Amino acid sequence: MQKTILFVDDDELLLKAVRRSLTSRYDLETALGPEEALKRIQEDGPFAVVVSDLKMPGKDGISLLEEIRALSPDTIRVVLTGYADLNSAVEAVNRGHVFRFLTKPCEDETLAAVLDDCLRQFALVTAERELLEKTLKGCVSVLTETLSLVNPEAFGRANRIDRFAKAIAQQAGIGEIWKYEMAAMLSQIGCVVLPEQTLQKIAKGIHLNSEEKQLYDMHPLIGRNLLARIPRLEDVAEMVAYQEKNYDGSGIPPDGISGDDIPQGARILKVAIDFDLAFSRENSFAKAFHHLEEHIERYDPVMLYYLEGCLGKEAHFESAALKVKELRHGMLVDQAVMTKTGLHLLRKGRELNSVLIQKLRTVHKRLGVVEPINVLIPVNESKRDESDIRQD
């Protein structure tokens, strides 16, 4: 349907006349009213051109063109109406972003000339977009490949950050997710100036000397300066620039911006980057998420909420397979607990307390309980000294 024209009108006779006069010259479809038009666009689109009447029952032409622009931004939009007034024309241009405004009756040759202009405009728009997309993908590919060669540690970190950032953005239902994925993949591009050992020290929690810290603090702005020169990456560049900015306004850059004034993508990156760093040190989703909660002022609470949604139970619990004698108060049973004879003792999700644990130990001595038992350990509980956890 890339070169198809869709005519929309509530007058069936007019649509039949359009088909008779223009079908031989164009690949043309018609829709009787706005609802049918939207259905056709969703099922058969995108269309190169949509020509719509202005005054129709239910949904007017301007509202229809607004929706079409959201569904298919490249579609060229034209108004053909018998109600020609300046206010309608201005509103159509401002809201519907129409390419042409024609009045009824319209001569066939005049209409054909406008349709030819529309098809040429559509070809220009799509060609420019395809060229930009290919150029963009090529630039991004070169940058990521360069990073993988110069600093494999930074490249690996960017891949992990991308996984977390994409999950948060999807959980939040954010549009244009490609920008957030690209910001995550390119978040570490400024690290090309860093020795690989510096990132390894950061991952292990080893203190950086003043020179190393200064270089590391510069990497978001170095990344922004590299990306800002690439067409259509201006938003991505700003996300990268503010990736180390805390929600309370502290962090880099020190410009007084805080809260929701920080770019949304940067707020996602901040959560993803710090979560990845905490996970690399703790090797536990629950402990890493708990670390972020301990410094909650640094993060957008909404993005932290979406990360929690991505992690599910792993945000607050660690999984373990334990013997009966290792069970402790506060753990959650993550499977049905059965005796060796098939007797059901505890359902999945039951929280253990001292009374239940004592009963399980008694039953285990008499009948035997199937071991190991899969449990979920609250993160605070899991931090106890192992000797204390495993004592009888």
Q: 245-255 pLDDT, tens per residue?
A: 999 999 999 89
Judge whether 49 and 28 are in contact, CB under 8 Å: no
Q: Strand ranges (DSSP E) for 214-336?
A: 317-322, 332-333
Q: Which CATH architecture has domain 5-127?
A: 3-Layer(aba) Sandwich (3.40)
Tell me whether residue 167 is exposed, middle or buried, using C-beta atoms within 10 angstroms of its C-beta: 0 to 12, 13 to 18, 19 or more: middle
Instruction: Say if pTM beats, i.e. exceeds, 0.75.
Output: no
pLDDT number for residue 385: 39
Q: Which residue would you say has higher pLDDT here, 388 or 9?
A: 9
State the Rg of the chain over Cα.
30
The mean per-residue pLDDT over the stretch 95-104 comes to 75
Q: Which CATH architecture has domain 151-313?
A: Orthogonal Bundle (1.10)
| % pLDDT > 90, the chain | 25
Q: Which residue would you say has higher pLDDT here, 271 or 313?
A: 271
Q: For residue 29, is pLDDT > 70? A: yes
Q: ∠ CA(186), CA(129), CA(168), 5° rounding? A: 40
The mean per-residue pLDDT over the stretch 62-71 comes to 84
pLDDT number for residue 111: 87
* Whether domain 317-389 has CATH 3.90.105.10: yes
Judge whether 213 and 266 are in contact, CB under 8 Å: no
Paired tokens of 275: 């979560």
pLDDT number for residue 392: 41
pLDDT number for residue 96: 52
Residue ranges of the chain that CATH labels 3.40.50.2300: 5-127
Per-residue confidence at 391, pLDDT binned at 50, 70, 90?
A: very low
Looking at the DSSP bridge assignments, the partners of residue 29 are 6
Establish whether the linkage from the previous residue to 254 is cis, with ω within 30° of 0. Answer: no
Residue ranges of the chain that CATH labels 1.10.3210.10: 151-313
Tell me whether residue 332 is exposed, middle or buried, using C-beta atoms within 10 angstroms of its C-beta: 0 to 12, 13 to 18, 19 or more: middle
